[in-house]
Chain A
Amino acid sequence: MAEQAQAKKYSKPLPHLDEENRPWWEALQRHELYLQKCRDCGDVRYYPRALCTNCMSSQVQWIKCSGRGKVYTFTTTYQNQSPGFRESLPYIMAYVELEEGVKMLTNLVDCPPEQAKIGMPVEVVFEDVTPAVTLVKFRPAR
């Protein structure tokens, strides 16, 4: 019941969890950020998926990320008519390039729009939005 109440209150779109991506989302619930790396060719990929995006191997290992990266690009959104976002304008959407080399679409938080800069060092923030879903966001590195 408490879960339902919280899920109702959170009105932004939620990801669909399935057997292929569940380990990634479960790690986020523990406030840990992992990436997949191919055991055969070593290629690192984001977002998580069952087969290597370089050699199609099914052999996967999970590597733990430092949670640090830099802003690759960003935009401050002033207009979005969809529920959840229209109440939280403006917000910053960004690609953050992790130290491990991949870019993730995310939000910059604790960052006034005028402070956002490309190349700015950022660190991970885990935002528990429902009991099942924790989102990876970033804030200016402290």
Chain B
Amino acid sequence: MSLSRKTAVAGVYEHPTRFAPDKSMFQIMAESVRGALDDAGLTIKDVNGLCTAGIGMSGMGIVGLCDYLNLTPNFVDSTSIGGSSFVAHTAHAAAAIHAGLCDVCVVVYGSTAASSRFAIGTGGERGGAGDPCDQYEIPFGPTTVGAYAMIAQRHMHDYGTTSAQLAEIAVTTRLHASMNPAAKYRDPITLEDVLASRIISSPLHLLDCCIISDGGGALVITSAERACDLKKKPVYVLGAGETVRHAARGQRDFLEIAAAQSGRLAFERAGVAHKDIDMAMIYDSFTITVLATLENLGFCKRGEGGAFVSGGRLRFDGEFPINTDGGGLSSNHPGMRGIFLVIEAAKQLRGECGARQVKDCKIALVHGTGGTLGTRHSGATLILGNQ
């Protein structure tokens, strides 16, 4: 059963806040839902599906969100696989709509990580610390940044990838942020700035790491047929894939990541080729995340990522534009940024990105990574198109 072009993203909204000490996570989420419904030309009364992740510790936070929004949906999904969750939710919502489980599904995210002073990447012991696997990691001081840094170190060792090549990703992303009025950090940076910033966990510098902000966003997903009658040009779901990677009983090749499998599935299901992709939104928790993801998605060969990201290729006006909103490296990263990847891809496909608009953008790829590449992570790939 192919889902291609059966459903569409009909509305999107990125909450403009980057620091909201005056707002709760729930208020940010509700404002985001309202924004995305306005964008689609729908109301809360039309919504009968809801997806979210990251609320509270009970695992059933979505029920509290339904309460807050006064919703009694026919379909709920709070799959929580890290920052990629909302990319996976988009595919789950598409499948649910196609299967007749609901008609209009909202995917929503909100967080007050910055105003709550939550040290996302360097707080040491991470969530899920009661799982069996954690017992063999927490004694040794794993941090999120450290677990990614080990991937960078190995990549450099095996392929001669340099810190300057990783820095190109940060520089390009900041250039894009400079064209996004809502981005948190908008002053351009240079390769030298990245290389001169302090090492957080070798070989990653401060400017190789995503920022910490507050924020939120929402998507409205419905059938392609219904989307055609709504306010904005539909952004069709062409294909999707998801999976996880972990230590594989101690036998994993750590440079092979979830994107290899989720990307292959998404391309097969969408029936498109790499050359058809006009722009990509790649989860950029760290610069190495982008490089490893591009290789594993097959945009370049393994080991060639350093050269691939160099020379301005990733710029909005380059050969392979990515992360045109300024990414997690410069625009916003409230902890789980997958939803912003889908929002920006949809805006690009609708031609709404102004100065940073990618020319002739017809097909976009979104890839979310959740968790850490160096221990356990999920990958969710989504291919979207405007025709």
Assembled-state Cα–Cα distance A14/B201 (Å) = 22
Q: B139 near A135 (CB under 8 angstroms)?
A: yes
Assembled-state Cα–Cα distance A55/B222 (Å) = 42
- The answer, yes or no, to whether A91 is at the interface (CB within 8 Å) is yes
Residue of B124, B157, B201 near A82 (CB, 8 A) is: B124
Assembled-state Cα–Cα distance A20/B125 (Å) = 22
Q: B201 near A79 (CB under 8 angstroms)?
A: yes
- The answer, yes or no, to whether B252 is at the interface (CB within 8 Å) is yes
Assembled-state Cα–Cα distance A17/B142 (Å) = 19
Q: A14-B139, A46-B250 are in contact. Are A78 and B200 (CB under 8 A)?
A: yes
Q: B129 near A13 (CB under 8 angstroms)?
A: yes
State the main secondary structure of chain A at its contact with B. Answer: loop
Could you say which interface size class chain B belongs to?
35 or more
- The answer, yes or no, to whether B251 is at the interface (CB within 8 Å) is yes
Residue of B136, B200, B204 near A15 (CB, 8 A) is: B136
Interface residues of B in 193-222 (CB under 8 A from A): 198-204
Contact with B along A59-102 (1 / 0, CB 8 A): 00000000000001111111111111100100101110000011
Q: A91 near B141 (CB under 8 angstroms)?
A: yes
Q: B139 near A102 (CB under 8 angstroms)?
A: no
Q: A93 near B139 (CB under 8 angstroms)?
A: no
Residue of B nearest to A54 (CB): B249
Q: A53 near B136 (CB under 8 angstroms)?
A: no
Assembled-state Cα–Cα distance A78/B249 (Å) = 29
How far apart are B119's CB and chain A's nearest CB, in angstroms?
A: 5
How far apart are B149's CB and chain A's nearest CB, in angstroms?
A: 4
- The answer, yes or no, to whether B230 is at the interface (CB within 8 Å) is no
Could you say which interface size class chain A belongs to?
35 or more
Assembled-state Cα–Cα distance A101/B149 (Å) = 22
Q: A104 near B250 (CB under 8 angstroms)?
A: yes
- The answer, yes or no, to whether B130 is at the interface (CB within 8 Å) is yes
Q: A43 near B139 (CB under 8 angstroms)?
A: no
Q: B200 near A118 (CB under 8 angstroms)?
A: no
Residue of A47, A106, A133 near B140 (CB, 8 A) is: A106
Q: A78 near B150 (CB under 8 angstroms)?
A: no
Q: A15 near B135 (CB under 8 angstroms)?
A: yes
Which residues of B are found within 8 Å of A81, using beta-carbon distances?
119, 122-124
Interface residues of B in 336-387 (CB under 8 A from A): 374-375
Which residues of A are found within 8 Å of B139, using beta-carbon distances?
12-15, 129, 133, 135
Assembled-state Cα–Cα distance A88/B119 (Å) = 18
Q: A15-B138, A102-B250, A107-B141 are in contact. Are A75 and B130 (CB under 8 A)?
A: no
Q: A43 near B145 (CB under 8 angstroms)?
A: no
Q: Could you write out 12 A-B pairs with CB less than 8 Å apart?
A: A21-B132, A44-B249, A45-B250, A47-B135, A73-B150, A73-B151, A78-B199, A84-B141, A93-B146, A95-B254, A102-B250, A103-B251
- A residues near B, CB below 8 A? 12-17, 20-21, 43-47, 49, 53-54, 72-85, 88, 91, 93-95, 101-107, 113, 118-119, 129, 133, 135, 137
- B residues near A, CB below 8 A? 119, 122-125, 129-130, 132-133, 135-143, 145-146, 149-151, 153-154, 157, 198-204, 247, 249-252, 254, 374-375
Further 19 A-B residue pairs, CB within 8 A, beyond A12-B139, A78-B202, A81-B119: A13-B125, A16-B130, A20-B132, A21-B135, A44-B249, A49-B132, A73-B254, A75-B149, A77-B141, A77-B143, A79-B200, A80-B146, A82-B123, A95-B150, A105-B140, A105-B247, A107-B140, A107-B141, A118-B153
